[in-house]
Amino acid sequence: MIGEKILEKKVVTLVEVKDLLKENKKMKDLNYEQEAAYNYAKTFSKLTRTKADKLLKDLKAIDGVSEEFAVKIVDIMPMEKEILKILIPKESEFKEDTLDTILETVKKYGGKDISDRAKDSAAAAKKTAKKLKQKAKEEEEKRKKEAEEKAKQEAEENASDKK
């Protein structure tokens, strides 16, 4: 970044990072750090840009929620009060009803609670296990077929040697 200077500092969501780097990628190759940031943002951003922008706006409308805190919430999408409390800046305090309002707002934008996430993870694991079993079965059948062909070929060779 020699020769470049910072013009503006702004807190942005992972979705915005992903979109900004995607645009940069179209114009020029990304350097190592940019590529790593792009892959991270692509992997961990949980909402579309439109939903993230709307959620950010709704969160900032809640009394006491700063832009920085709202961005953290959009990026993490906490579904449980305990997780939300971890994200609260040290200099801030929130009443329980405000935390409930924040959680309700997040859930409105497609958030899932722990039990739903666990079900999704279990379903994904089951699907992966099924694929792996199928692949192993196919490989075993391929090995058997190759062994049978090899045995047949050896038998033919032995038969031709005896003649």
CA distances for 130 relative to 34, 116, 124, 138, angstroms:
36, 21, 10, 12
**pLDDT at position 160 over 90:** no
The helix/strand/coil state of 129 is helix
Distance separating alpha carbons of residues 113 and 88, to the nearest angstrom:
19
* 142 pLDDT more than 70: yes
* pLDDT, the chain, mean: 86
Q: Is 46 left (phi over 0), alpha (psi -120 to 50) or beta?
A: alpha
- Of the pLDDT bands very low, low, confident and very high (cuts 50, 70, 90), residue 121 is low
Residue 122 has pLDDT above 80, yes or no: no
Please provide the size of the chain in residues.
Answer: 163
The answer to whether the beta carbons of residues 7 and 33 sit under 8 Å apart is no
> What's the rounded Cα separation, in Å, for the pair 30 and 23?
10
- In the prediction, which pLDDT does 115 show? 57
Rounded to two decimals, the pTM is 0.63
Instruction: Dump pLDDT digits (tens) for 32-87.
Output: 898 899 989 988 888 889 999 999 999 999 999 999 999 999 999 998 999 999 99
The pLDDT value recorded for residue 113 is: 53
Q: How many CB atoms lie within 10 A of CB 13?
A: 23
What is the DSSP secondary-structure string of 4-54? ----------HHHHHHHHHHHHHHS---HHHHHHHHHHHHH--S-HHHHHH
The residue type of 59 is L
**Amino acid letter, 117:** R
Q: Which amino acid is at 26?
A: K
Over the stretch 88-106, which tens digit does the pLDDT of each residue have? Answer: 988 888 899 999 999 999 9
* Amino acid 112: pLDDT: 54
